[in-house]
Amino acid sequence: MAVPLYLLAPGMNVSRLCLGSMTFGEQNSLGESYRLLDAAFHAGINFIDSAEMYPVPQCSVTQGRSEEYIGRWVRARKIPRDKVVLATKVTGPSGQMVWIRGGPMCLDAKNISEAIDASLLRMHTDYIDLYQIHWPDRYVPMFGESEYDSNRQYPSISITEQLGALADAVEAGKIRYVGLSNETPYGVMKFFHISESDSRYPKIISIQNCYNLLCRNFDSGLAECCHHEGLSLLAYSPMAMGLLSGKYLYPGGGPPDARMNLFRGKYAEGETRYSLSKQNVEAAIEAYKLLADAYGIRPACLAIAFVLKHPLVGSAIFGATKQWQLQEVIKSCQVNLSVEIMSDIDKIHSMYPNPCP
pTM: 0.97
What pLDDT digit, counting tens, does each position of 166-221 carry? 999 999 999 999 999 999 999 999 999 999 999 999 999 999 999 999 999 999 99
pLDDT for 308 equals 98
DSSP string, 296-345: T--HHHHHHHHHHHSTTEEEEEE--SSHHHHHHHHHGGG----HHHHHHH
pLDDT for 309 equals 98
Residue 351 has pLDDT above 80, yes or no: yes
Cβ atoms within 10 Å, residue 81: 11
What pLDDT digit, counting tens, does each position of 67-84 carry? 999 999 999 999 999 999
Element (H, E) at 210: strand 204-210
Active site residue 54: yes
What is the fold of 5-240+306-338?
TIM Barrel (3.20.20)
What pLDDT digit, counting tens, does each position of 100-126 carry? 999 999 999 999 999 999 999 999 999
| Domain boundaries of the chain, sorted by first residue | 5-240+306-338
Element (H, E) at 8: strand 5-9
Catalytic residue among 6, 54, 177, 236: 54
Cβ atoms within 10 Å, residue 331: 17
pLDDT for 268 equals 77
Mean pLDDT of the chain: 96
Give the length of the chain: 357
Please name the residue ranges forming H helices in the chain: 30-42, 65-76, 109-122, 159-171, 185-197, 222-229, 259-262, 268-273, 281-294, 299-309, 323-331, 339-351
Q: How confident is the model at residue 1 (pLDDT cuts 50, 70, 90)?
A: low
pLDDT for 265 equals 84
Q: Among 87, 79, 71, which residue's Cα sits nearest to residue 19?
A: 87
* Residues pairing with 28 in the sheet: 24
Residue 254 has pLDDT above 90, yes or no: no
Q: Is 354 left (phi over 0), alpha (psi -120 to 50) or beta?
A: left
Mean pLDDT of 229-234: 98
